[in-house]
Amino acid sequence: MAADLPIILKRNQHPISRKQIDHDCLKVLYRLNRNGFKSYLVGGSVRDLLLGGSPKDFDIATDATPNQVKRLFRNCFLVGRRFRLAHIRFAGNKLIEVATFRREVTAEELPEDPHDHLHFVQNLFGTPGEDAYRRDFTINALFYNIDDFSVIDHVGGLADLKRQRIRVIGDPMVRFVEDPVRMLRALEFAARLDFSLCNDIYSAIDTHKGLLTTAAPARVREEIMALFRYGIAAPVLRQCRELGMLPHLLAGYPGTDEGIAMLMQVDERTRRGTDIDESFSLAALYLRLFMDSCPPQGGTTIAAALQSANQILTPHCRYFSIAAGIRIRARDLLVGCFRLARGHGQRGEQKFLRHPATATALELFSLWSEVRGDLKPLLDEWRSSINNPAGHSQPPTRRKRNRRSKKNKKRTPQPG
């Protein structure tokens, strides 16, 4: 499959400049190259550079084995049990990942013991062309060769970049069975890049969407967080709903129109430059469901609201192995929105206003008010009272009785 000659763009035929590549990444590329190894920048970084973007991560592929890479770099650590990767660390917690080219295994090469298959397959080294055909989408399988500054395309990724389309390498019916998370990643890249999906992706998703429940929860969790970090949670989860993927992806998330509208507000917040953490994304996901479960004007107590928030968040956090601290912060944001929606004059208001989570809860509530416009006057009231605490009614305080100590108390003369 990888026998066809690749398309090679020389330095003057593409826009990538070494000035756009991370300085430490260049160090790794050059040292591998000087020591006689093939040294390529690979994956999404090449795609983004060709599209005129600024990659956040830079990955490297080489024909050097992990142990050979380790011998070249004192700051190198090998990770992974099934497939060894070299992580080269630099100042500021920067990490450059270096992988050895891999290839597909033939049936004749597999060990007799089926238990040894996975470890054997993932540790089979190969050529650059064979490695390209193992990747997920054509636009993610482009290489930048530091030796002559050329771009190498084994799979038609350059044509797909030009046509602005997402195409699976190989048959999607097969590749989605190998890794069901690729279905979600196809939607993610289409939304991030404003590309279209090839028709065979839609038919493969329709056939295999149920396999998402078999995917590793840790990987699904990371992909969902990637949607929030890139500000595309709303369009991708809306499309997941339309394609019938949502029940297999997020079993507890109803994906209502208002819920998706809330995520649109969160995405806009992210695109304005505000970082998002997992507790905020969790609260945003489930805010509409939470508010429906305990209407703020329905006489619901704080204890009942806390219980409802826990009942909604706990199954999600348990399935995805999300830490209790993240769940508690998300719960506090939900209950904070409940308190804000109830309005002023409730018991414990002053303590709530001093709570560390209240400012973030107010921010979440402001996004919700964009969906529920009737809440905007209430939002303005809260902002006014928080900005001008002196103008807001304070709870009555007890007058302290000025009692003298027994030691200093004057005794009244008693009649003799």
- Dist CA 90 CA 95 (whole Å): 6
Tell whether the model's pLDDT for residue 338 goes beyond 90.
Answer: yes
What pTM does this model have? 0.86
Tell whether the model's pLDDT for residue 118 goes beyond 90.
Answer: no
Catalytic residue positions, numbered: 57, 59, 136
Query: What pLDDT does 3 receive?
Result: 54
- pLDDT tens readout for residues 40-96: 999 999 999 999 999 988 999 999 999 999 999 999 999 987 778 999 999 988 999
The pair of three-digit structure tokens given for residue 222, joined into one six-digit string: 């990371």
Instruction: Please state, in angstroms and as integers, the Cα–Cα distance from residue 187 to each residue in 165, 190, 215, 233, 246, following that order.
Output: 11, 5, 16, 10, 13
Query: What pLDDT does 68 receive?
Result: 96
Strands 94-100 and 150-153, sheet pairing: unpaired
Least confident of 52-56, 115-119, 152-156: 115-119
At 103, the pLDDT band (50, 70, 90 cuts) reads confident
Instruction: Please state, in angstroms and as integers, the Cα–Cα distance from residue 147 to each residue in 18, 31, 78, 151, 318, following that order.
Output: 12, 11, 25, 11, 48
- Dist CA 33 CA 130 (whole Å): 20
- pLDDT tens readout for residues 301-322: 999 999 999 999 999 999 999 9
Domain ranges of the chain: 1-162, 164-251, 271-387
Q: Select from 3.20.20.140, 1.20.1630.10, 1.25.40.390, 1.10.3090.10 the CATH code of 271-387.
A: 1.10.3090.10
- Dist CA 123 CA 132 (whole Å): 16
Q: Hey, do 1-162 and 271-387 end up sharing a CATH topology, with the first three levels equal?
A: no
% residues pLDDT > 70 (the chain): 88
Query: What pLDDT does 179 receive?
Result: 95
CATH class of residue range 164-251: mainly alpha
- pLDDT tens readout for residues 228-242: 999 999 999 999 999
- pLDDT tens readout for residues 174-212: 999 999 999 999 999 999 999 999 999 999 999 999 999
CATH class of residue range 1-162: alpha beta
User: Which residue in this structure is represented by tokens 């009272």?
Assistant: 385
- Residue 161: what residue type? L
Strands 59-62 and 76-79, sheet pairing: unpaired
Task: List all residues 6 or more positions away from 190 whose beta carbon is below 8 Å from its beta carbon.
Answer: 166, 196, 197
Query: What pLDDT does 36 receive?
Result: 97
